[in-house]
């Protein structure tokens, strides 16, 4: 059975995945696993077969992708990156307090795309999510996809080894 490491396992999508995937290991700031400083826990995660790069923390998702890719490039392991449809939009009106969010997610999207096209045996999956019903966007008044539906898609990505890119949901409010 595959061992799966998940960042951000104490809330939102990470929690849903952690609760639904047997044999998963969680890494979250609330459990003293800071993705901005992965040195104390990354060796445990690297011993897994799948890494779900879920927790958002600026450019640190890109840093984790790089670390896992360097270690797993010529293995049969899988890295699933949780991105955002916000990476596709240059001007978006939503949460002002995290206005660099689309930039960080664009960097993750670009890194996934580039790494998917280099010589490797590891699998890199890029999951871009639209508005998802999580605490991060609880006050945004738009239709949102449920966390459990997004988790279903990610579980399908684990089963179907042919999936490398998937977009789930996403109606956006544009700046005018």
Q: Supply the pTM of this predicted model.
A: 0.89
Decide if 174 is inside a domain. no
- Look at the chain and report how many structural domains it folds into: 1
Decide if 14 is inside a domain. yes
Q: Which of 25, 30, 86, 23 is nearest to 52 (CA)?
A: 25
CATH code, domain with 129: 3.40.50.720
Decide if 25 is inside a domain. yes
Determine contact, residues 10/30, Cβ cutoff 8 Å: yes
Decide if 173 is inside a domain. no
* pLDDT tens digit at each of 176 positions of the chain: 799 999 999 999 999 999 999 989 999 999 999 989 999 999 999 999 999 999 999 899 999 999 999 999 999 999 999 998 877 765 455 545 557 888 899 999 999 999 999 999 999 999 999 889 887 788 888 888 999 999 999 999 999 999 999 988 854 433 32
Euclidean distance between CA atoms 32 and 50, whole angstroms? 21
The range of the structural domain enclosing residue 103 comes to: 4-168
């Amino acid at each position: 059975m595959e061992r799966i490491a998940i960042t951000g396992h104490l809330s939102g999508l990470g929690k849903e995945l952690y609760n639904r995937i047997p044999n998963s290991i969680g890494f979250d700031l609330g459990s003293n696993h800071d993705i901005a400083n992965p040195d104390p826990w990354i060796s445990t995660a690297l011993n897994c077969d799948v890494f779900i790069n879920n927790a958002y923390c600026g450019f640190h998702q890109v840093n984790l992708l790089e670390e896992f890719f360097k270690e797993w490039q010529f293995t049969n392991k899988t890295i699933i990156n949780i991105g955002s449809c916000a990476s596709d939009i240059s001007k978006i009106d939503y949460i002002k307090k995290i206005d660099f969010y689309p930039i960080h997610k664009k960097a993750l999207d670009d890194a996934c795309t580039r790494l998917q096209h280099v010589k490797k045996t590891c699998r890199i999956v890029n999951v871009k999510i639209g508005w998802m019903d999580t605490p991060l966007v609880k006050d945004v008044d738009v239709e949102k996809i449920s966390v459990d539906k997004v988790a279903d898609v990610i579980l399908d990505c684990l089963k179907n080894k042919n999936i490398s890119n998937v977009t789930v949901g996403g109606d956006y409010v544009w700046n005018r």
